[in-house]
Structure 1
Amino acid sequence: MTSTVVWGTGNIGRLALRAIAAEPALKLTGVIVHNPAKVGRDAGELAGLEAELGIAATDDTDAVLAGRPRAVVYAASGDIRPDEALDDICRAIRAGAVVVTPALYPLYDPRGAAPEFRDPVLAAIAEGGGSLFVSGVDPGWGNDVLPLLISGLGGTIDVIRCQEIFDYSTYDQEDSVRNLVGMGMPLDYGAPMLWPEMPTMIWGGQIRLMARALGVELDEIRETMDRRALDTGVRTDTMGDFDAGTQGAVRFEVQGIVGGEPRIVIEHVTRIHPSCAPDWPTPPDGVGAHRVVIEGRPRIEVTVEASDEGGNRSAGGNATAVGRLVNAIGWLVDAEPGLYDALDVPLRPAVGKLGRSST
């Protein structure tokens, strides 16, 4: 069994603990936390499981890495601390671990990443013999392996469109929803996730990955952005009130331009309430879904709805993204040390998991 550590136990780390508990080829050997209130608590409790897992959380990172774990799921945030996340990840790689994480957006496409992100990782790999695979929680598979798989079913292809369509009132991360995305803020509020070029920084790597797999040259990557205000105030169960006149929905596209036209598109449509921007695309149940649409002959549309934690769609989407990362560990352990992307790491069947529960 592969000795595996989870670093960070927030929304992503909690799901990673469950995924590891359900994976017969992995053995949880450490949990790293930053919140003093979590130190000493059992991993099963932090994961929301009914049973203990026998591993107590610790904030002693040096001691955990000194144990030379074979794999690390790095689940701490990189949104507002990319430099710290990069340093943490490189420490784990130098300790010889294969690391999987959603935290470093620029490394979705390592070939196109800036040297300040790529070079420290390559140096850590050369020094310690570990590996790194980065995939998104938006989720990554919805913007790379799924559309590419479906593209092989078509005859002619005009546009590949990957959509995330969500009601964020179900999202249990108020700081991100309000401050990073701008929900409930004035329309002129400069939400960091919506800054010009920020969507390209986050999702441009996946556009480049798909272009490379499809054998096309990108002219450029463009962005579109639209924001809508709430007509009336709304109250959410998880985050309280959102006032009329504040941002209630946002829609943006990251477009890969081929031959002067948008041909590879990643689109996000996010609302805080279904009543806002009703003319925009909506998920089948009004809550959340990921969708791939291939315009061509034939036209192909695939919608994926995932739920977890009592039917929560945001948790379900995150859980599938975490599953992609955790299930990649076995392949990475068998591969040579390296910096890998979604085109390198196969999506494999869940061997040994049928009928197995993490609870």
Structure 2
Amino acid sequence: MISTVVWGTGNVGRAAVRAVAAHPALDLTAVLVADRAKVGRDAGELSGLDERLGVAATDDVAAVLAARPRAVVYAASGEVRPDAALEDIARAVRSGAVVVTPSVYGLYDQRNAPPGIRAPLLDAVAAGGGSLFVSGVDPGWANDVLPLLISGVGSRIDAIRCQEIFDYSTYDQEDSVRHLVGMGQPMEHQPLMLLESVPTAVWGGQVRMMARALGAELDEVTETVERRPLQATVVTAAMGEFQAGTQGAVRFEVCGVVGGEARIVVEHVTRIHPSCAPDWPQPPGDAAGVHRVVIEGRPRIDVTVRASDEGGNASAGGNATAVGRLVNAVDWLTEAEPGLYDALDIPLRAAVGRLGGPGRT
């Protein structure tokens, strides 16, 4: 069994605890939390399971890493604390652990990550013998392995479009929705996630990885952002009121340009209410959110993925599938050489030992 730590018990961490507990090759040995109120509580309770896991949460990072866990699932947020997250991750890698995380956007495409991000991690690998795999929580597999897998059944590929279409009214992270993305803010306000070059900094790595896998040379990576105001005040169950005239919908594209044409596109269409920007792509039926891959070519291929978790919540489903990709890579990484890995390095494998049951031993 591979001794595994989950660091963080927020939206991503809850799913990580459940995924580690269900994996037949992993042994959940510790859960790290930042909130003192969570210290001492059982991991099963914190992750929404109906059973105790016998692992009490702790905030003693030094003690947990001193026990030399073989793997760490780093689920703490990196959106508003990227430097601190990078320090945490490097510390875990330096301890000799295999680390998987969605928390540092700049490492999705680790080969082209800025030196200021990549260098300390390479130093940590050299010093401790650990490894690192970063994949997105948006979720990453929908912007790399899924479109590439589907492309393999086509005979001619003209363009690949990866879409996230999502209603944020169900999203259990109000600070991100209101402040990072800017929902409910005045239209003259410039939210952090939509600042010029930020979408490319976050999703450009996935565009570059797809181009690399397809053997395509990019002319450039471009981005476009469009925002729409709410036409009427709306009230959401999770986050309360969003006033008319404030930002109610966002649509952006990060495009890999080949031969002067946008050939690889990552597109996000997000709303705080279905009534805003009704002419933009909508999720099908009663779905709150979907991930979609459209390959223009011959044949034309259109695949839509709908995932839900925690009582049918679409955002929780997206988190759970993103975490599943990361957690399911742990045992492969423990057999690989120490180093930095990306989504093209890690094979997508079947969930061996988990059909028909939780998979715990």
TM-score class normalised by the smaller sequence? over 0.9
SS at 1:111 equivalent: helix
Match of 2:120 in 1: 120
Are the aligned partners of 2:39 and 2:58 in contact in 1 as well (CA < 8 Å)? yes
Q: Are the equivalent residues in 2 in contact too, given 1:158–1:296 (CA < 8 A)?
A: yes
Q: Counterparts of 2:185 and 2:310 in 1: how far apart (Å)?
A: 28
Q: What CA RMSD, in Å, does the superposition of the two structures yield over aligned residues?
A: 0.9
Q: Hey, what does 1:166 align to over in structure 2?
A: 166
Note the C-alpha offset of 1:357.
2.9
Kept in 2: contact 1:18–1:358 (CA 8 A): no
SS of the residue corresponding to residue 84 of structure 1 reads: helix
Counterpart residue number, 1:210: 210
Displacement of 1:262 after TM fit?
A: 0.4
Q: Return the letter of the residue paired with 1:181.
A: V
What secondary structure, in the 3-state scheme, does the structure 1 residue paired with 2:79 have?
A: coil
- 2:260 is aligned to 260
Q: What does residue 251 of structure 2 align with?
A: 251
CA distance in structure 1 between the aligned counterparts of 2:39 and 2:329, rounded to whole angstroms: 28
Q: Which residue number in structure 1 is paired with residue 279 of structure 2?
A: 279
> What do the CA deviations read for 1:288-346 (whole angstroms, capped 9, x no partner)?
10000001111000000000011101100110000000000010011111100000001
Using the TM superposition, give the Cα deviation of residue 111 of structure 1 relative to its aligned residue in structure 2, in angstroms: 1.1
Partner of 1:223: 223
Distance 1:320 1:84 in 2: 25
**Contact in 2 for aligned 1:49/1:358 (Cα 8 Å):** no
CA distance in 2 between counterparts of 1:57 and 1:6 reads 10
Find out whether 1:12 has 2:12 as its counterpart. yes
Aligned to 2:31: 31
Question: Match of 1:298?
Answer: 299
Q: How many residues align?
A: 359
CA–CA distance in structure 2, aligned partners of residues 229 and 171 of structure 1: 19
Matches of 1:219 and 1:142, distance apart in 2: 23
Q: In the alignment, what sits opposite 2:60? A: 60
Using the size of structure 2 for normalisation, the TM-score is: 0.98
Contact (CA 8 Å) 2:24, 2:359: kept in 1 or not?
A: no
Partner of 1:324: 325
Indicate conservation of the 8 Å contact 1:162/1:293, yes or no: yes
- Residue 315 of structure 2 corresponds to 314
- Give the whole-Å Cα distance in 2 for the aligned partners of 1:61 and 1:287: 37
Q: Indicate the residue corresponding to 1:334 in structure 2.
A: 335
Task: Tell me the alpha carbon deviations over residues 186-236 of structure 1, each in whole angstroms, 9 at most, x when there is no partner.
Answer: 111110000000000000000000000000111111001110011111110
Match of 2:227, SS state, is strand
Return the letter of the residue paired with 2:39.
V
Partner of 1:303, secondary structure, is: strand
SS at match of 2:278: coil
CA contact (8 A) 2:353 2:359 kept: no
Identify unmatched segments of 5+ residues in structure 1.
Answer: none
Distance 1:274 1:321 in 2: 25
Question: Deviations for 1:132-163, whole angstroms, at most 9, x for unmatched residues?
Answer: 00000100000000000000111111110000
Alignment-derived partner of residue 192 in structure 1: 192
C-alpha distance in 2, partners of 1:30/1:209? 33
**What residue identity is the alignment partner of 1:76?**
A
> Equivalences for 1:20-169 in 2 at 5 Å?
20-169=20-169
- Name the aligned partner's letter for residue 197 of structure 1: S
Unaligned runs of 5+ in 2: none
Q: SS of the counterpart of 1:53?
A: coil
Matched-pair contact (CA < 8 Å) for 1:19–1:358: no
Q: Secondary structure at the match of 2:316?
A: helix
Task: Tell me how far apart the structure 2 counterparts of residues 310 and 54 of structure 1 sit (CA, whole Å).
Answer: 24
CA displacement 1:86-108 (0-9 Å, x = unmatched): 11001111111000000011111
CA contact (8 A) 1:100 1:132 kept: yes
For 1:317 and 1:187, the matched residues in 2 are separated by: 28
Instruction: State the distance in 2 between where 1:148 and 1:299 align.
Output: 14
Inter-partner Cα distance in structure 2 for 1:330 and 1:343 = 16
Aligned-residue identity in percent: 73
TM normalised by structure 1 equals 0.99
In 1, distance between residues paired with 2:86 and 2:184? 31
Q: Distance in 2 between matches of 1:121 and 1:130?
A: 10
C-alpha displacement at 1:358, in angstroms?
7.7
